[in-house]
Amino acid sequence: MTPFGRKVRELRREKGVTLKDMAAALHVSSAYLSALEHGKRGRPTPMLIHQICGYFNIIWDDAEELSKLADLSHPKVTIDTSGLQPAATELANLLSRKIAQLKEEELVSLLSQIRDAEPE
């Protein structure tokens, strides 16, 4: 499941909306919406994000948060390390091989370190 998918599922549960009902309202198939929630589809389009925000009456900061989650939710990531330090290439390769073996607390710790390293 992607961060975007988790958030959409959380919104559906809070509002008591079924996947089938939401899919019908958005004019997408329930299979597509399910695949999107589970990370089996790429990022949603900006138009679909807008539709979801409208469906749940999400505005301003919450809409921006949902959009940011969508940007961070591509399930198949490609990392181009050409021109970077050798350590960057090693990190990308090790992460791709070992990410499935990492425990939740290890993932959270790595995420925190990387977020803290981002420029403001």
Q: Domain for residue 60, yes or no?
A: yes
What pLDDT score was predicted for residue 76? 85
Give the Cα separation of 98 and 107 in Å (integer).
Answer: 11
Residue 63 maps to which CATH number? 1.10.260.40
Please indicate, yes or no, whether residues 55 and 12 belong to a single structural domain of this protein.
yes
For the stretch 49-71, pLDDT in tens is 999 999 999 999 999 999 999 99
Averaged confidence pLDDT in the chain = 93
pTM above 0.85, yes or no: no
Q: What's residue 101's pLDDT?
A: 96
- Indicate whether 52 and 108 sit together in one domain: no
Domain of residue 24, residue span: 3-71
